[in-house]
Amino acid sequence: MVYYNMLSEVFWVAFITTLSGCILKLASMMYKSKCKEFEICCLKVKRDIDAEVLEGDIELTENENKK
């Protein structure tokens, strides 16, 4: 009985870790995408892509100036 509980705990830890990793990867992909709006389930998001691109260009310019 104790062995069964230990396997169950290992399963849930692995399951939650995998699920968390998938959610983080999806969030990373959404952040990197250049879509102006997207919808996930009942959540609809509109983004200002121009401001994000401008911010990225400023960061690249600052990094090049530091070299």
Give tens-digit pLDDT for 3-52: 666 678 888 899 999 999 999 998 888 777 777 787 878 888 887 777 77
pLDDT at 4: 62
Residue 36 DSSP code: S
pLDDT at 54: 77
- Euclidean distance between CA atoms 66 and 18, whole angstroms: 38
pTM of structure: 0.54
Kindly state the average pLDDT of the residues 58-67.
74
Sign, CA dihedral 44-48-49-51, equals negative
